A and B are shown apart, each in its own frame.
Chain A
Amino acid sequence: MFGYYLDLALHSFRRTPVLAGLMTLAIALGIGASITMLAVLHNLSGNPLPGRSDALFHPQVDPRPADLPGAKDEPPDDLSYLDAVNLYQLGVAPRRALMSSNWLPVRKDAQDSPLAMVTDRATTADFFAMFGVPFIYGSAWSAQDDASHAQVVVLSRAMNQQLFGGEDSVGRNLVIATKTFRVAGVVDDWNPQPRFYDLNDGAFGKAEQMYLPFFTWLDLPQDYGYGPMDCWGNDPNAGMHDPKAQQCTWAQFWVQLDTPAQVAGYRAALVQYSAQQHRLGRFQRPPNVRLAGLVDWLDYKRVIPVTVRMQTWIAFGVLLICMVNTVGLMVAKFLRKSGEIGVRRALGASRRMVFLQCLVEAGVVGVAGGLLGLPLAWLGLWMVRQQPVSFAASARFDPSMLGAALALAVLSALAAGVWPALRASRVAPALQVKSL
C-alpha cells in the first residue's frame, strides 16, 4: 500500500509542480536555517575532551573579603597566587596542572634573528598527560623541571614550522623574553573547543603557540602581565604591581580525579584547606569551595555565545513560519484533489487510508525539503565560517547532522501535513462525485 501511496504522491507532484516546489522550498529554507544553527550549537557545546572529561575537575576556593559589595556567592573562577601554589602542592590528586597565559617576545638564538610576539601557556608538567596533548617530537618537561625552574619550552606544530621549518627541534635553543630556553618537545595540532582550561579570553579561538613551565615563567620580566586578572578592593592596580597580591585571582588550576572516592577526598581536602586558611585569618569567608567536572564547568560558564543562542532561536522561528506556510499550501493542495479523493472514497477507501495517503505525500515533501535543505545548511555554515567570530572554525558540517537534518525535515513536514490530511480525509465523497 505504501508503494502505491508513494506513486500517487509523486504523480501529484508532477501535476502541481509549482505548489509542490513552493512547499519543498519552504521546508528546505526552514531546515537549512535551523540545521545551520544546530550544527554550530552542537559543535560549540560539544565535549572538548571526550573520554577524558569525566576525570577532569576544576577546583575553586573563595579568598574574597566577607563584605565585598556586589559579590556573588560563587567563588572566583581563578586562583590567587598563594592558593594556586598551595593547592598545587596539596598533592591529593593523581595529576594536576597550574596555568596562565600571556604574550612573550621570542626569537631564535642566532644573531639578528627577527623577534615575534608569541602567545604562550605557562603550565606544569602534568598538563600534557592530563589533557592528552599529542607530541610529534620529544616529550613534556618533568616535574623535576617544574621544581628547578628549568628553562625549557614545548612548541606547537605551527610554531615549530615557523621557527625551524618543521624539523625535529628538540634540544635547540630559543630566546624568550631575553632568556634562553631549550626546546623539550613539539606538540601536534591540539585545540579543544571550547577552550575549557582557560575561558578568560573567550571560550573559542586558537590554542597557544608554546608552553613554558609555570614557575620559570613567573621569573620572567614582568612587562607582559600574567593573563587576565580579577582584583578586588580599593586598589585595582595591585596585580600589575605584584602577581602575588592576595586580592588578585588569575591562575587556572585543573586536577584529574579518576574515582568517585578521589573526588570526594579532594572535595574534603579543599574544605579542609579553606577552613585552615580561615583559621589563619587569610580567608574571611567560611569554606566556600567548588569542584566542578569539566562539563559542569562549561555549563556554569555558559560558553555558548549570546549571539549564537539568539540566532538559533531566530532560525527555529524561520522553521516555524516555513511550517505554517507549508500547512497552508498543503491544505490548498489536498483540497484541490477533492474530486480525486471523493472517487477513491466512493470506491471503498477508508478515511484512514486517505489520511495515510496524504501523510505519505507530506513525507515526500519532507524528504525533498530535507535533501534540498542540506546544501542550504552547508551554505549557511560556510557563511558562518566567513564571519569574524571566534567560533568560526567550529562551524563545520558534522556527518551526524545529516541524519538529524533529514529527520527534522520529515518530522516538520509530517507535523505540517497532519491537519491538512485530516481535512482531506473528511471530504464527503457523494458531494465530490456528484460534481464531477
Chain B
Amino acid sequence: MQIRPILATLKHHKAGTLLIAMQIALTLAIVCNALFIIRQRVSHLSQPSGVDEANVLVVLNEWAGKPSPGEIASLMAADVDTLRRLPGVADAYASNTYPLSGGGIAFGIGHSPDKLKPVSTTAIYFADQDALPTLGLKLVAGRNFRADEIGQVDRHGDIQPGAIIVTRGLADRLFPDGSALGKTAYISRQPSTIVGIVERLQSPWVDSGMAEWADCSTLVPYRQLTAATRYVLRVRPGQLEDVRRHVRAALYAANRMRVISPKDGVRTFAEIRADAYKSDRGMAILMGVISVVLLAITAAGIVGLSSFWVGQRRKQIGVRRALGATRHDILGYFLTENLLISTVGVLVGSVLALGLNLWLMKQFELARIAPGYVVAGVVVLLLLGQGAVLAPALRASRVPPVEATRSV
C-alpha cells in the first residue's frame, strides 16, 4: 500500500483529518484514565480482609439501662456463652469493631512512647484468646493471646497492653529486617511486646485517607466494657443463614435490655463488604458507562466523516477502479488512511492522557497511571477506528468502475 498518495489526499482534507485525530486523542486521554480509576476501585473491592468471610457473622449490640462496667463484663460473658451454645455456632468473641466496619480506634504506633513520632498508624482491635480462631486469622509467627492476659477497659480506662498481636504489614513497617516477634512497640506510654504476627487483618476503614494503613492492624488483649459491643461469630460451614435467622431472638431471650437493630443489627460479611465498597462499585460502573459512551461517540464520528469522504470521492474511486485497482486496494486505502489518522491521534492522546493523569493526581490524589493502561487504550482506539471505518470502506470498495464516466 502506497502511503504517499494517502498523505497527499489528507492534505486536501485537513479539517476532517484534524478533527478525527483530535477526537481520538481526547477520547484516549479520558478513557485511559477512566480505565485506570475503574481498575483501582475494583482492586480495592477484591482486597482480602484476612477474615474467613464465608463463615463469619457480626452482631451489633447496644446495652440499655445503663449497666455499670462490671455488669457489662458479666452480661458480655453470658452473651458469648449463649452464642456458643447456639446450634451452628463454632466460636464467638466480643470486640469493639471488625474489618470494613467503617468505625473504630486508630492509634500511632512507634518505637518510643512519644505520640508525636509514630512509625505508622494502626487500627486497634479489642481481642481475647478466641479472636484469632473466630475470625479465621492465620498466625504466621509467635502465639495467640492467653486467657490470663485478657484485660478489661471501660470508657475511662487506659489501653496499655503488655502483649499485642500485629499484622505482618505492620510488623514489616516497624521492623523492616523481619525481626518483629518478641520486640516491643509503643501504642501507649507503656511498652507492648509483639507476641504474635498474623498474616493479614484489614483495618475497619476503606476510604482513601486510611488506604495507606489498610494492612496495619493491632490486636490488643482487652474486653471493652462500653454500651456498644460487637459480637463476632464463627459458624459451621453452610449454617450461616440458619444462625443469622436465630441469633437475634436467642440474645433477646437471654436478656431484653439491649438494642439489636432489626435492620442491620446482624450482618454477614458479604453484606459488610457490599456496604463498605458500594461507593467504589458505583464509581467503577459510572466510569465504565462513560468510557463506553465516549467510544461509541468517537466511532459514530469516524463513521460519519468517512462516509462523507467516500461519498465525495466516488468519482476518484471509480477512476482508480477503471484504471485497474481492485476492490481490495480501495478497502486497503481507506483502512490505511484511518490508521494514519488514528496513529497521530493516539500519539497526541497518550501525551494528553499522561497530562490528565498528572492533573488528576494533583487535584484528586489519584495514583500515577501505569503505562499498561495507555497502551491498552491505544490498542482499543486503533481497533475502534479500523472497525468504524470498515463499513464506509466496504461501501467505497463496491463503487463500480463505471462511476468514472458519470459526471457527478
Interface residues of A (CB under 8 A from B): 18-19, 22, 25-26, 29, 33, 69, 105, 107, 115-117, 177-178, 221-224, 233-237, 240-241, 306-307, 309-311, 314, 317-318, 320-322, 324-325, 327-329, 331-333, 335-336, 383, 387-389, 419, 423, 435-436
Contacts and interface: CB of A to CB of B under 8 A. Distances in A.
A234 B114 contact: yes
A240 B124 CA distance: 16
A321 B259 contact: no
Interface in B195-233: 226-227
B308 A336 contact: yes
Contact of B308 (A241, A314, A335): A335
- How would you classify the secondary structure of chain A's contact residues: helix, strand, loop or mixed? helix
A237 B305 contact: no
B237 interface: no
23 contacts: A18-B304, A19-B308, A22-B301, A25-B300, A29-B297, A105-B64, A115-B258, A116-B259, A240-B155, A241-B156, A314-B30, A314-B34, A317-B26, A318-B297, A320-B26, A322-B297, A324-B301, A328-B19, A328-B301, A329-B301, A332-B304, A387-B286, A435-B408
A420 to B, nearest CB: 8
Interface stretch (B139-147, B276-284, B323-331): B276-284
Contacts of B312: 335-336
Contacts of B26: 317, 320-321, 324
A136 B149 CA distance: 56
A327 B30 contact: no
Given A33-B290, A105-B62, A236 B408 contact: no
B404 interface: no
B203 to A, nearest CB: 16
B156 A240 contact: yes
B301 A222 contact: no
A314 B312 CA distance: 35
Given A116-B259, A387-B282, A329 B304 contact: yes
Contacts of A221: 66
A336 B408 CA distance: 13
A325 B297 contact: yes
Q: Find the residue from A240, A314, A328, A333 having the highest chain B CB count within 10 A.
A: A328
B22 interface: yes
Closest 5 CB pairs of A and B: A332-B308, A328-B19, A325-B301, A223-B227, A388-B278
A320 B286 CA distance: 18
B158 A332 contact: no
B400 interface: no
Contacts of A329: 301, 304-305
B105 to A, nearest CB: 9
B16 A331 contact: yes
B214 to A, nearest CB: 19
Interface of B: 15-16, 19-20, 22-23, 26-27, 30, 34, 62, 64-66, 107, 114-116, 155-156, 158-159, 226-227, 258-259, 261, 278-279, 282-283, 286-287, 290, 293-294, 297-298, 300-301, 304-305, 307-309, 311-312, 360, 363-365, 407-408
Given A222-B155, A234-B115, A388-B282, A331 B19 contact: yes
B101 to A, nearest CB: 15
A306 B364 contact: yes
Given A224-B227, A336-B311, A321 B279 contact: no
B228 to A, nearest CB: 8
Contacts of B34: 314
Nearest to A387: B282
A318 B62 CA distance: 48
Given A331-B16, A332-B307, 11 more contacts: A22-B300, A22-B304, A177-B66, A223-B226, A314-B287, A321-B23, A328-B19, A331-B15, A387-B286, A388-B279, A423-B15
A321 B28 CA distance: 11
A322 B297 CA distance: 7
Q: Find the residue from A309, A317, A321, A387 having the highest chain B CB count within 10 A.
A: A321
A321 B66 contact: no
Contacts of B297: 26, 29, 318, 321-322, 325
B311 to A, nearest CB: 7
Contact of A318 (B65, B278, B290): B290
- How would you classify the secondary structure of chain B's contact residues: helix, strand, loop or mixed? helix
B66 A178 contact: yes
Contact of A311 (B116, B286, B301): B286
B305 A318 contact: no
A429 to B, nearest CB: 17
B290 A332 contact: no
A388 B98 CA distance: 21
Given A33-B290, A117-B62, A178-B66, A389 B261 contact: no
A207 B16 CA distance: 55
Contacts of B283: 307
Contact of A321 (B114, B115, B156, B294): B294
B290 A115 contact: no
A343 to B, nearest CB: 14
B66 A328 contact: no
A240 B228 CA distance: 14
A65 to B, nearest CB: 11
Nearest to A234: B115
Contacts of A178: 65-66
B19 to A, nearest CB: 4
Q: Find the residue from A115, A178, A307, A325 having the highest chain B CB count within 10 A.
A: A325
Contacts of A309: 363-364
B155 A115 contact: no
B279 A389 contact: yes
A317 B360 CA distance: 13
Nearest to A390: B279
Given A26-B301, A336-B308, A436-B408, A314 B290 contact: yes
B102 to A, nearest CB: 12
Given A22-B304, A105-B259, A329-B301, A324 B19 contact: yes
B305 A332 contact: yes
A117 B311 contact: no
Nearest to A103: B62
A227 B319 CA distance: 81
Contacts of B408: 435-436
A321 B304 contact: no
Q: Find the residue from A222, A223, A389 having the highest chain B CB count within 10 A.
A: A223
Nearest to B226: A223
Contacts of A328: 16, 19-20, 23, 301, 304-305
A16 to B, nearest CB: 10
Contacts of A25: 300
A223 B66 contact: yes
A387 to B, nearest CB: 4
Contact of B16 (A29, A107, A332): A332
Contacts of B226: 223
A387 B261 CA distance: 23
Q: Find the residue from B34, B301, B307 having the highest chain A CB count within 10 A.
A: B301
A327 B20 CA distance: 10
Nearest to B27: A321
A69 B107 contact: no
A218 B258 CA distance: 23
Nearest to B15: A331
Contacts of B22: 324
A193 B107 CA distance: 33
Nearest to A178: B66
A317 B54 CA distance: 42
